[in-house]
Amino acid sequence: MSVTRTFTVTVANPGSGNRYYIDSVLQDTVNLAEGYIYKFDQSDSSNSSHPLRFSETSDGTHSGGSEYTTGVTTNGTPGQAGAYTQITVASSAPTLYYYCTNHSGMGGQANTPTSNTWSMLTWDQNSFGAQDTSNVFLQEFLQLLQLVMELIWECHNKVGVVNFGIKMNGVNYQITRPYLQV
């Protein structure tokens, strides 16, 4: 299985000591779907002397916790080309926290929901369909919603069956529903 997502890790001082920035977001809370692989790229020179690790305890070993190693691999020296920490998220993994092994207060939270949690992965990676992007899905969903609203309007004061369909990414979806005026 290939890496699902690579996060770019940098370190900067926002005024309260050095902190991790994940994809340019200060101590971002990240979502890591169970069964998928995530790479935390630490090749930026700001990562020098700031090895990123995981724990089940906020702030890891600095708060009495221990390093979480299930599915975790590291490569290289933080701050040098090719350095990263990678995790293959285990089934039923606990909520994790990323932290610096050398300095307290730098990390953040890593949620580990199931891979089929709504919006966890792109549409071609989970059981919610085979859409190319969430924008395509949203546009087509809005088209479907508009069609449904038009049919409801047309069916007002009628009894029978409503048949309608929509084509999404080359797949025809047909919906048949009885309706009854009450």
Domain-terminating residue out of 51, 77, 111: 111
Residue whose structure tokens are 């998928």: 36
| 97 DSSP β-pair partners | 55, 109
pLDDT number for residue 35: 87
153 part of a folded domain: yes
Asked if residue 39 and residue 74 are part of one domain, the reply reads yes
pLDDT number for residue 132: 43
Task: Give which of 139, 143, 142, 129 is closest to 171, Cα–Cα.
Answer: 129
Q: Alpha helices of the chain — where are they, by DSSP H? A: 134-155
pLDDT number for residue 88: 96
121 part of a folded domain: no
How far is CA 121 from each of CA 2, 32, 89, 118, 153, rounded to the nearest angstrom?
14, 9, 14, 8, 35
Asked if residue 144 and residue 80 are part of one domain, the reply reads no
Asked if residue 163 and residue 100 are part of one domain, the reply reads no
Asked if residue 160 and residue 79 are part of one domain, the reply reads no
Question: What CATH number does the domain containing 54 carry?
Answer: 2.60.40.420
Asked if residue 165 and residue 107 are part of one domain, the reply reads no
129 part of a folded domain: no
pLDDT number for residue 125: 45
When divided into structural domains, the chain yields a total of: 2
pLDDT number for residue 113: 83
Asked if residue 33 and residue 85 are part of one domain, the reply reads yes
Structural domain boundaries, residue 69: 5-111
Residue ranges of E strands in the chain: 5-12, 19-22, 25-26, 30-31, 37-41, 52-55, 67-68, 72-75, 84-88, 96-100, 108-111, 160-168, 171-179
CA 43 to chain centre: 22
Asked if residue 100 and residue 24 are part of one domain, the reply reads yes
Q: Tens digit of pLDDT per residue, the chain (182 long)?
A: 677 789 999 999 999 999 999 999 999 999 998 888 999 999 999 999 999 999 999 999 999 999 999 999 999 999 999 999 999 999 999 999 999 999 999 999 999 987 665 555 554 444 444 444 445 555 666 666 666 666 665 655 555 555 555 555 555 555 555 544 44
128 part of a folded domain: no
Asked if residue 45 and residue 79 are part of one domain, the reply reads yes
142 contact partners, CB below 8 Å, separation of at least 6: none
71 part of a folded domain: yes
